[in-house]
């Protein structure tokens, strides 16, 4: 986290503590939500897509302007079968553009064309990351070569240290011996890809919009290091709009899509929808919002809203 970002966070914290939450709806005019509208939109999301849940989070981190049992939305165990860079190399997987050609789509996924040049930049963490480089060896070396490895090799615990003396032996004919799930891709079986994510949506009082947080696990359900999480973020957004920060309701560092442009983008999308003659309701906000987030995390398959149509004819009732 840069010093600048730290200062900004401090400012946001102070600002939030002295200003009241928004009370007047500006959903259509500014693309923002009041806490009440966030709860309304969240209720609709939970109702339509039951994999999303309301969560109360840590009691000491509760926000007074939200109901105690509806602090944020969370969905667990969302699969992510491939890394973003493999998708960006393959033009056929280009994300479908959601809206008409004439809208201003600065936020839309632009996979394919822009990716070649980016791969040369040294700071992109995805390609030579520890998990894709030599996964077979990792698997053999045991869990010690875990998520923290990227940081400092010295502090990685040696697995032999933990190995117990009474080795367990189980020879149960009725246990199906399954290797950890790997994406099935003949000839490329060394690559570990089946990560899962916990996605959460919080209400950001400062920006008055929802905010998405990611917490990832590798295929053995070990927490991913933040650097590894950035491999699953569109490389146009990694380190720019996606940052690693403290979750407002949970413990630990989570990757987050920074909400500073959310209201502008939402306003634009809403304008386009209205121009098509539809009349979006505030309780549909999160459906639209998740569509927009999909451009930032194209490989994470929280796909339950795919059939949500923004057109007026098939609008969800």
Partner 1 sequence: MAAGSGVPPDNTLPLLQFVPWQSAVDVGFWQKLAARKLAELRLSEAEQPLAGHFTASTHTQLSSPLHVGPDAWAGGVSEGAVRGGRAVAPGSCVLTNTLDGFKQADKKALLQAAAAKVWAAIVSGQAERDSALLNRFFLLTFADLKKWDFVYCVPPPLGEAMARACLAWKQAPPPAPPPDAVAGPPGDAVSDLAARLEASSVEDPGDVAAASVGGGSPFFLLHCAEGEQVTAHSLEHWSALQQQAGTVVAVYLDPCHLASHPGWPLRNLLALAVVRWRVRTLPVLALKETRGRPDWDRSLATTVHLPDLPEWRATGAPCPAAVGWERSAAGALGPRVAALGAALDPVQLAGAAV
- Residues marked as catalytic: 260
Q: Which of 53, 98, 191, 278 binds partner 1 (CB under 8 A)?
A: 53
User: What are the start-end ranges of the E strands in 81-123?
Assistant: none
301 binds partner 1 (CB under 8 A): yes
139 binds partner 1 (CB under 8 A): yes
124 binds partner 1 (CB under 8 A): no
Tally Cβ neighbours within 10 Å of residue 143: 14
Q: Tell how strand 242-246 and strand 195-204 pair up.
A: unpaired
Q: Which of 24, 64, 155, 277 binds partner 1 (CB under 8 A)?
A: 155
Q: Which of 4, 64, 169, 313 binds partner 1 (CB under 8 A)?
A: 169
Query: Distances from the Cα of 189 to the Cαs of 180, 186, 216, in angstroms?
Result: 12, 6, 21
40 binds partner 1 (CB under 8 A): no
Q: Using CB under 8 A, which of the segments 51-59, 233-241, 258-266, 282-290 binds partner 1?
A: 51-59
State the nearest-atom distance from the C-beta of 236 to partner 1, in Å. 24
Q: Which of 41, 74, 109, 293 binds partner 1 (CB under 8 A)?
A: 74
C-alpha span between 40 and 24 (Å, rounded): 15
Q: Which of 26, 108, 124, 141 binds partner 1 (CB under 8 A)?
A: 141
Q: Please report, as residue ranges, which positions from 219 to 278 form the binding site for partner 1 (by CB under 8 A).
A: 219-223, 225-226, 250-253
Choice between 194 and 208, CB closer to partner 1: 194
Q: Using CB under 8 A, which of the segments 107-115, 178-186, 229-237, 285-293 binds partner 1?
A: 178-186
Burial 2-41 (b: 16+ CB within 10 A, else e): eeeeeeeeeeeeeeeeeeebbeeeebeebbbbbbbbbbbb
CB 182 within 8 A of CB 195: no
186 binds partner 1 (CB under 8 A): no
Strand order, beta sheet including 209-217 = 53-55, 72-80, 195-204, 209-217, 253-257, 242-246
Closest CA to 216 of 89, 128, 302: 302
Q: Using CB under 8 A, which of the segments 89-97, 107-115, 164-172, 287-295 binds partner 1?
A: 164-172
State the nearest-atom distance from the C-beta of 240 to partner 1, in Å. 19
State the nearest-atom distance from the C-beta of 131 to partner 1, in Å. 11
Q: Which of 8, 26, 30, 56 binds partner 1 (CB under 8 A)?
A: 56
Contacts of 20 (CB under 8 A, 6+ apart): none
Q: Using CB under 8 A, which of the segments 30-38, 44-52, 98-106, 119-127 binds partner 1?
A: 44-52
90 binds partner 1 (CB under 8 A): no
Q: Please report, as residue ranges, which positions from 203 to 222 form the binding site for partner 1 (by CB under 8 A).
A: 215, 217-222
289 binds partner 1 (CB under 8 A): no
C-alpha span between 157 and 153 (Å, rounded): 9
35 binds partner 1 (CB under 8 A): no
Strand partners, 200: 74, 213
C-alpha span between 181 and 219 (Å, rounded): 7
């Amino acid at each position: 986290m840069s010093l600048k970002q730290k200062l900004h966070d401090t400012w946001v914290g102070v600002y939030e503590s002295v200003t009241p939450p928004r009370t007047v709806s500006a959903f259509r005019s500014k693309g923002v939500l009041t806490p009440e509208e966030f709860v309304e939109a969240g209720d609709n999301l939970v109702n339509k897509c039951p994999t999303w849940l309301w969560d109360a989070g840590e009691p000491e981190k509760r926000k007074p302007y939200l109901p105690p049992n509806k602090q944020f939305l969370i969905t667990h165990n969302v699969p992510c079968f491939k890394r973003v860079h493999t998708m960006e190399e393959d033009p056929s997987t280009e994300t479908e553009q959601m809206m008409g050609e004439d809208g201003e789509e600065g936020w839309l996924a632009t996979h394919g064309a822009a990716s070649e040049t980016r791969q040369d930049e040294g700071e992109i963490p995805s390609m030579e990351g520890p998990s894709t480089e030599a996964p077979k060896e990792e698997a053999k070396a045991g869990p010690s070569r875990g998520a923290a490895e990227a940081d400092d090799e010295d502090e990685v615990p040696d697995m032999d240290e933990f190995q117990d003396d009474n080795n367990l032996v189980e020879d149960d004919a009725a246990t199906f011996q399954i290797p950890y799930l790997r994406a099935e891709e003949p000839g490329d079986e060394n690559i570990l890809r089946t990560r899962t994510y916990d996605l959460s949506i919080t209400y950001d009082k400062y920006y008055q919009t929802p905010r998405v947080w990611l917490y990832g696990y590798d295929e053995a359900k070990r927490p991913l290091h933040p650097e590894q999480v950035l491999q699953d973020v569109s490389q146009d957004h990694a380190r720019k709009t996606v940052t690693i920060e403290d979750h407002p309701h949970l413990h630990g560092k989570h990757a987050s899509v920074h909400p500073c442009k959310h209201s502008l983008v939402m306003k634009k999308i809403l304008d386009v929808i209205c121009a098509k003659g539809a009349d979006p309701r505030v309780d549909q906000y999160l459906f639209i919002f998740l569509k927009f987030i999909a451009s930032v995390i194209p490989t994470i398959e929280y796909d339950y809203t795919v059939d949500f149509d923004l057109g007026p004819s098939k609008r969800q009732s």
